[in-house]
Structure 1
Amino acid sequence: MFIRTESLNDYLRRYQITLIILLINTLVMLFVWFCLNGIENPYVVYQLGGLINENVLGGDYWRLLTYAFLHFGIYHYLFNMLFLMVLGPPLEIILGKIKFIVFIFISIICTSILVIIVSEQPGVGASGIVFAIMGYFIFLAGRKDKSLSSFDSKLIIQVTLFSWIGTIIFSVVTEQMVTVSGHLGGFISGIILSFFRTTFKQNNLV
C-alpha cells in the first residue's frame, strides 16, 4: 500500500487530489523563491499567508488555510512533499476523491486551531496534513483493520514513531513549540476521522 510501484502515468492518473496538493505547494514555493526571493525569509513567508495568531484573531481567517501551502526553506518543503507523495495516495484510494478533499480541509483547520490555542509562534507547512494521514492509518493499524496488511501496519507505525521523534528533537533544539502543536493537531484529527469513518462504515452509514 505505501510502497509506490505504479508508473508515473498511473500515479498522475489515479491520485489527482494528492497531485493537486503537491502542485499547489510546489507552485507557491517557486513563487516565493524566485519572485519574492523569500524562501528562507521568515517575514516574507509568514506575512504572505502564514498562521500568525494576532492576524487570524484580527480577521485574517484565510490564514487558517493558506499556511498549509507555504514552507520555510527548501528542506521543509521537500520533507513534507515526500511524505505526502507516499502516504497520500493510499488514503485517496480508500476515501475517494471528495472525502479525501474533506479530510484534507478538516486536518488543515484542526491543525491551525490547535496551533493558535497552544503556541504564539507563527507557523507554515503541510505537516498537519501529513500527520493527519499518519493518524488515520495509525488508528487502522491499532485496531488491526483488514485494509492494512501486517507489513503496512508495521511500516506506518515505524514511520510515525520516527516522525514524532524527529518532531520532538527539532522542537527542543529550535525551541519551536509550533512544530509539536501543528503536528499534534493534524495527528489527532486524523485519528478522530479514522474512528468515525470506520465506526460509520461498520454500521453501513458511509
Structure 2
Amino acid sequence: MFVRTESFQEFLKFYPIVCGLVIIHFVLWFFIDILQLPFALQILREGIGNNYFVGQGEYWRLVTPIFLHGGFAHALFNSFSLVLFGPALEQMLGKAKFITMYLAAGIAGNIGTYLMAPNEFYQHLGASGAIFGLFGVYAYMVIYRKSLIGAANSQLVMTIFVIGFFMTFMRPGINVWAHLFGLIGGFAVAPPLLKNARPFSVWQNRAKFANRDRDEVSFNPNRWKNKRFSSKNYGKYILWGIILFLVAMAFLGNLF
C-alpha cells in the first residue's frame, strides 16, 4: 500500500492527481526561488496565506498556500510525503474525490490558521495541512473501516503520523493550526468519500489499463506476477528504493 512497486511510467499513468500536484509544487518553486520571474513573484505575493488580507476579503488565500512552499526542502518533503501516502487514496477514492479531500483538508488547515493564529498579520504557506488530511482519512479507516487497510499498514501509517504529530509541537516555525485542522478536515470528509471505497490494489490499476489497450484481449493476473521479478524490472525497484531513501532523508531532516 505504501511501498511502490510500479514503474515510473505506471506511476504517472495510475496516479495523475498525485503527479500533477507534485509537478505544481516544483514548477512554482523553480519559477519563484530559482528563476525569480516577475509573474511568479506576483503569484507568491498574492497567494501566500496572510490572515490580515483574508480578513480584508481575499479568500483565495485560503486555497493558494496549499501549492506554495518556502524553499526546496519544504517542497521536497511535502511532495514525497504525497508520493508515499497519496497513491493508495487516489485509487481508493477516485480522482475527483481525492482532489476534493485534498483541497478540503488544506482549506480546513488554512481556515484554522486564520481563526487561531497568534496575530492578524500571520503568514504561512505549504501543503502540510492537506498532507495531514491524508492522515485524517487513514485514521478514519483504522478506527471505522478496518476492512480497507491491513494491520501492518495501519501500524505503519499511524506510527509515522504520531511521530509527525509529536514533532508538530516540538519544532519552532511549524504552523500547528494547519496540521491540526488539516487532520480534522481529512477525518471529517472521510465518511462520505469512503462510502463505496475498496481496498488498494495495484493489480486493479494494471487490470484497468490493460483492458484499455487494444492489443489486450483479456487480463491475466499471472502475466504480471511472472514479470514482477524479472531482470528487466530491476530498474524500477532501484528507482523506488532511491525515492524511499530520499523520503526518509527528507523526513529525518525535518525532524532534526
CA–CA separation in structure 2 for the residues paired with 1:90 and 1:61: 31
Select the residue among 189, 192, 197 that pairs with 1:193: 189
Deviation digits for residues 45-69 of structure 1 (CA, Å, limit 9, x no counterpart)? 9624111011112122221111111
Partner of residue 18, structure 2: 18
Partner of residue 76, structure 2: 78
Partner of residue 170, structure 2: 169
The Cα of 1:106 is off from its aligned counterpart by: 1.2
Quick check: 1:46–1:122 contact (8 Å CA) kept in 2?
no
Quick check: 2:93–2:193 contact (8 Å CA) kept in 1?
no
Instruction: Return 5+ residue gaps in structure 1 as ranges.
Output: 38-42
The Cα of 1:105 is off from its aligned counterpart by: 2.0
CA–CA separation in structure 2 for the residues paired with 1:160 and 1:83: 11
Is it true that 1:139 corresponds to 2:140 in the alignment? Answer: yes
Deviation digits for residues 145-203 of structure 1 (CA, Å, limit 9, x no counterpart)? 11101110000110101111221111xx34x5xx11001111001111123444x559x
Partner of residue 126, structure 2: 125
The Cα of 1:44 is off from its aligned counterpart by: 8.2
Identity of aligned residues (%): 29
Task: State the SS of the aligned residue for 2:58.
Answer: coil
Partner of residue 32, structure 1: 32
Instruction: Return 5+ residue gaps in structure 2 as ranges.
Output: 198-256
CA–CA separation in structure 2 for the residues paired with 1:44 and 1:122: 16
Q: Looking at CA atoms only, which structure, 1 or 2, has the larger radius of gyration?
A: 2
CA–CA separation in structure 2 for the residues paired with 1:72 and 1:192: 28
Q: C-alpha root-mean-square deviation of aligned residues, in Å?
A: 2.2
Over 3 Å counting, the alpha-carbon distance change for 1:25 and 1:18 in structure 2 is same
The Cα of 1:4 is off from its aligned counterpart by: 1.1
TM-score where L is the length of structure 2: 0.70
CA–CA separation in structure 2 for the residues paired with 1:59 and 1:197: 30
